[in-house]
Structure 1
């Protein structure tokens, strides 16, 4: 296990919500996705509850049929920088694609967020499998799955090298001796790779946590391998404990094979429970969400995972169609799971579309049920922590903090205070040592 003794808890800040109908829920403003006061209220409440980090996801292409939250939302690093000024301990994690960015810019942006926040930044590495994203970045098509991950691995390697441009004590600010910094502690990267050629050095000092925490969200074979090689933490999602256990062991084993300490990578499944005081209340909330989504909307939502494939050409109430390799170059792990689940259980297209649009998490239930399920998965060794996201705008996060978290704290699973001031400390991860420094600069961290 990680050095952290308690369950890691992250909270997704998902604007107007993660369901097609959630923006209509009265627990928050309809314009939540671009409402700074809304974000500030949530992050302050999350920090008061001692949640480890908040997470802002992103995407690079839209159309009129996508999730309402996607249509009009803050860019992650911008909103996270604003939230850094009203918080002091909670981690600030944002998505940025390796397919449509340059490593120098990414290193500088997250390096800045890390300094602004005092060492609380995290980068969620994604590869953006979307034709729309390609068209928005002057490209005719997006790279195939294998190439995207090849690019991503080199991209992350370069970013990490740039984050080590300065040793921790390079800047002296010695006015009396006219010495701003020690040039012997500045290092160019001189990277000449297949996809990137970057000279360096980066023009910003190192983070108080050494380097920004790297998260990775792909669950395909290539995604797992990238995580095992490069990530400090992994976002994932599973329908049952058996699948979660298998994923956990696989990624930890891959990390070991790549010469890493498996304890230096945290596995964090996302959970999206509907929480209610009674099972009847939970059922009512779920029904309201599901009934608020038309089948036309559901088909469009499902199609997004398959690079906006048009499912409307198939019969709704017949078996899920055999569409061959469609989706294999898009959200591969998700589309593979959808196809396999539909085949295994003989589901119709209508069933698959509605389930994809309004999934029913097995964590859903009363506060006691949610806490017990989290405890069960934690003690089974299926996770190091969770990412909490709710399909019901504010309703879910508020109930999680007010009703579920106290139960987890009573069980001794969830922390009651922060371990330190940086995200690495609070995740139980070691300070990231500079590759150019021969001695430990942050003893005991």
Structure 2
């Protein structure tokens, strides 16, 4: 039996996923406002056979100490995700483009229309990363409205996604005859009733845009709390997750599949993609030196501010950074990441300062430092043991970190039978081997056996 194919995505970022990447000599200091930077990264991934270019987003500047605020993460000061997705989609041909959009500070009709438009523009290559916007600085930028409680945000998100999908089903594309002679543009049965009415949202419909060749945009979910996993099991085509080791990743993988089956969905119709932060060298020593070079660029106040955000917007003022992480109240925001980092600190006996330096790189994702052969081998182990269907790449720096992975690791994965030979055309759903939702079936499917 041939090895199971894996899915590769890359998370487009400004200078790189390491918090100090923008200070590295190899990176472009204004990458966060240079659209060609993102396009070039997406095209490089596309040429290498990656299926997904992922665009993160945030609706505000993270709360931080005054000094750290001047220095903190460049990601907070860049393009809006849907706008950037349009630019990347029109500049690429085959790779899927997944854009982040919030269910807390949007309306279903507007977002359904925007995403459906992008899906048509890209010829069926768009995905929606569903987020609930968990940080207080995000909420502070909008009029008072939805309950910002964790459970309420996810209840709203569940209904939001339901409303969007109802709107995406407004039209049967086969009913559009566009007959000039008769003057009939679409048949009477081409339009479907929506009349969505829920606790949080209502929308009469129909949506005033047609579906693309893939039927609807791909749905991606990244929350790993109980509420996040429940939403993923019910709605997601792809789950993006942060896992630090293979044992935890296997547990998460099985949990999602069980929840999927319990929700009445086919467990094989969801892909689980952990993030991977690889630092690559010709030798292990060289890889460790590259990592140390980045770590030496970290500013302590920036690392601590980033840790506060990933622990759920907590305040660590007055905490001994050389001591253990104190007990924290359960976060109302990034709850799953708080639990992951708390467990990591306990398991490895990391001080607050050491944990902050660890988060500055992989941000809670799987961090692997080594040679191409070592990294390819670990990727194969994760895939073979049922810990992942593929991976979302978090390059430490752009473009070098992504280029190194493509140049050295990707060929090894192909030699091991884990990747196809190169770019594959077709809708995003077809590339991922997911059920076809369009009436006109794409001409390509992916072998996931």
Query: Normalised by the shorter chain, which TM-score bucket?
Result: over 0.9
| Alignment equivalent of 2:158, drawn from 153, 157, 174 | 153
- C-alpha contact 1:316 1:350 (8 A) present in aligned 2: yes
CA contact (8 A) 2:103 2:130 kept: yes
Q: Distance in 1 between matches of 2:155 and 2:58?
A: 20
Query: 259, 262, 270: which is aligned to 1:257?
Result: 262
Mapped contact 1:28–1:393 kept (Cα < 8 A): yes
Deviation at 1:169? Answer: 1.1
Instruction: Identify the residue that residue 169 of structure 1 maps to in structure 2.
Output: 174
1:200 corresponds to = 205
Query: Following TM superposition, by how much is the alpha carbon of 1:66 offset from its aligned partner in structure 2, in angstroms?
Result: 6.8
Q: Distance in 2 between matches of 1:68 and 1:344?
A: 27
Match of 1:133 in 2: 138
Pick from 384, 392, 402: which aligns with 2:389? 384
1:374-413 maps to which residues of 2 (within 5 A)? 374-413=379-418
Aligned to 1:181: 186
Q: Distance in 1 between matches of 2:344 and 2:43?
A: 39
Is residue 305 of structure 2 the alignment partner of residue 300 of structure 1?
yes
In structure 1, what is the equivalent of residue 232 of structure 2? 227
Q: Cα distance, 1:141 vs. partner?
A: 8.4
Taking structure 1 as reference, are residues 198 and 89 closer, same or farther at Cα in structure 2, changes over 3 Å only? Answer: same
Q: 1:244 to 1:284 in 2, by over 3 A?
A: same
Name the residue aligned to 1:437.
none
User: Which residue number in structure 1 is paired with residue 359 of structure 2?
Assistant: 356
Say whether 1:30 aligns with 2:25: no
Q: SS state of the match for residue 284, structure 1?
A: helix
Structure 1: distance between partners of 2:229 and 2:434: 19
2:128 match: secondary structure: strand
SS at match of 2:15: coil
Q: Secondary structure at the match of 1:235?
A: strand
1:186 and 1:320, CA in 2 relative to 1: closer, same or farther beyond 3 A?
same
Please list, as runs of the form range in 1=range in 2, the aligned pairs for 1:415-430 lying within 5 A after superposition.
415-430=420-435
- What is the aligned partner in structure 2 of residue 47 from structure 1? 46
Query: What is the SS of the residue equivalent to 2:328?
Result: coil
2:345 is matched with which residue?
Answer: 342
Instruction: State the alpha-carbon separation in 2 of the partners of residues 13 and 66 from structure 1.
Output: 20
Match 1:414 to one of 403, 415, 419:
419
**1:287, CA displacement in angstroms?**
1.0
Deviation at 1:181, TM superposition (A): 1.3
Report how far residue 282 of structure 1 moved.
1.1
Gaps of 5+ in 1: 434-439
The TM-score, its normalising length taken from structure 1, stands at 0.93
Q: CA RMSD in A?
A: 1.9
Q: 1:86, 1:295 → 2: CA distance?
A: 38
CA offset at residue 53 of structure 1?
Answer: 1.3
Question: Using the alignment, how far apart are the partners of 1:443 and 1:304 within structure 2?
Answer: 42
| Residue 120 of structure 1: how far off its partner (Å) | 0.3
The TM-score normalised by the length of structure 2 is 0.92
CA contact (8 A) 1:135 1:141 kept: no
2:323 is the counterpart of 1:318:
yes
Cα deviation code 1:185-206 (max 9, x no counterpart): 1123111101101111100001
What's the counterpart of residue 329 of structure 1?
332
Between stretches 165-174 and 89-98, larger displacement belongs to 165-174
Within the alignment, does 1:71 sit opposite 2:85 as a pair? no
| 1:306-354 CA distance string (max 9 Å, x none) | 44322131112222122333xx211000111222332344332112222
| 2:98 corresponds to | 93
Aligned length: 434
Q: Which whole-Å CA distance do the structure 1 matches of 2:275 and 2:240 have between them? A: 7
Partner of 2:8 in structure 1? 9
Q: 2:273 and 2:312 mapped to 1: Cα distance?
A: 26
User: CA distance change for structure 1 residues 247 and 81 in 2, over 3 Å: closer, same or farther?
Assistant: same
User: 1:390 and 1:6 mapped to 2: Cα distance?
Assistant: 21
Q: Give distance in 2, aligned partners of 1:30 and 1:135.
A: 29
User: What whole-Å deviation, never above 9, does each CA across 1:286-318 have from its counterpart, x for those lacking one?
Assistant: 112111112222111111124432213111222
CA deviations 1:69-119 (Å, max 9, x no partner) are: 223211111111112222211101111011111111111011001000000
Compared with structure 1, are the counterparts of its residues 170 and 5 closer, same or farther at alpha carbon in structure 2 (3 Å cutoff)? farther
Counterpart Cα distance in 2 of 1:213 and 1:428: 12
SS at match of 1:123: strand
Q: SS of the counterpart of 2:370?
A: coil
Q: Rate the CA distance shift 1:140–1:228 in 2: closer, same or farther, 3 A.
A: closer
Structure 2 CA distance for partners of 1:256 and 1:141, relative to 1, 3 Å: closer
Q: How far did residue 49 of structure 1 move?
A: 1.1
Give SS of 1:172's match.
coil
